[in-house]
């Protein structure tokens, strides 16, 4: 299984401090996250089990308050519901492996795009969660969900010189 890390520039205030970061700071975070993912040699995101909910709860509640403040639709009323029903990878490595397997069984995918943004975590917490994913969840997923037996590459257009195969 392959993992593609994606880090987005967040355009809302920090979920913990409520401070809107300047554009150049948001770009710097994107670069830092990309460099960190490359440095660690993986492309995903996960957090440890018990501390995950405690760590993520204020971030979730801040986001929930932001949605309600602006009258935006709320899909998940609690962090527990968010972790259970969303595609967020929050929990122990085994919980993350189990969740990815549920999605794989439904969709059959072998490429997983995962947010690698810090989303309110400190640099140390963010790095620890990425290291945990890389060391424990990713190897299991790669072992249990192998890549398809074909090579990846660009699809090239047929040229006029090549005969059509019927």
pLDDT of 75: 94
Closest listed residue to residue 5, CA positions, set 153, 149, 130: 130
Question: What are the backbone angles phi and psi of residue 127, rounded to the nearest 5°?
Answer: -60, -45
User: What is the rounded CA–CA span in Å between residue 35 and residue 146?
Assistant: 26
Helices (H), the chain: 23-40, 49-69, 79-85, 93-107, 123-132, 138-144
User: What is the rounded CA–CA span in Å between residue 103 and residue 88?
Assistant: 12
User: What is the rounded CA–CA span in Å between residue 93 and residue 134?
Assistant: 9
Own/partner contacts of 66-71, CB < 8 Å, gap of 24 or more, are: 66/12, 66/13, 66/15
pLDDT of 76: 92
pLDDT of 79: 85
* Stretches in the chain below the pLDDT threshold 70: 1-16, 23-24, 26-28, 30-31, 34-35, 38, 41-52, 55, 113-117, 150-155, 161-166
Tell me the three state secondary structure of residue 116: coil
pLDDT of 49: 44
Q: Which residues are paired to 114 by β-bridges? A: 5
pLDDT of 130: 81
Give the chain's radius of gyration (CA, Å): 19
pLDDT of 3: 54
């Amino acid at each position: 299984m392959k993992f593609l890390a994606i880090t987005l520039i967040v355009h809302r205030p920090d979920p913990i401090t409520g401070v809107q970061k300047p554009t150049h700071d948001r770009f710097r975070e994107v670069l830092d996250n990309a460099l960190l993912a490359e440095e660690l040699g993986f492309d995903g995101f996960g957090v440890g089990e018990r501390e995950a909910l405690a760590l993520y709860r204020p971030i979730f509640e801040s986001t929930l308050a932001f949605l309600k403040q602006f009258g935006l639709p709320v899909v998940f009323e609690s962090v527990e519901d968010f972790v259970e029903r969303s595609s967020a990878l929050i929990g122990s490595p085994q919980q993350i492996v189990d969740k990815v397997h549920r999605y794989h069984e439904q969709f059959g995918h072998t490429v997983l795009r995962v947010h690698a943004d810090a989303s309110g975590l400190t640099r140390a917490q963010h790095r620890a969660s990425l290291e945990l994913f890389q060391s424990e969840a990713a190897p299991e997923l790669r072992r249990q969900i192998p890549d398809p037996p074909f090579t990846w590459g660009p699809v090239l257009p047929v040229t006029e010189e090549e005969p059509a195969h019927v």
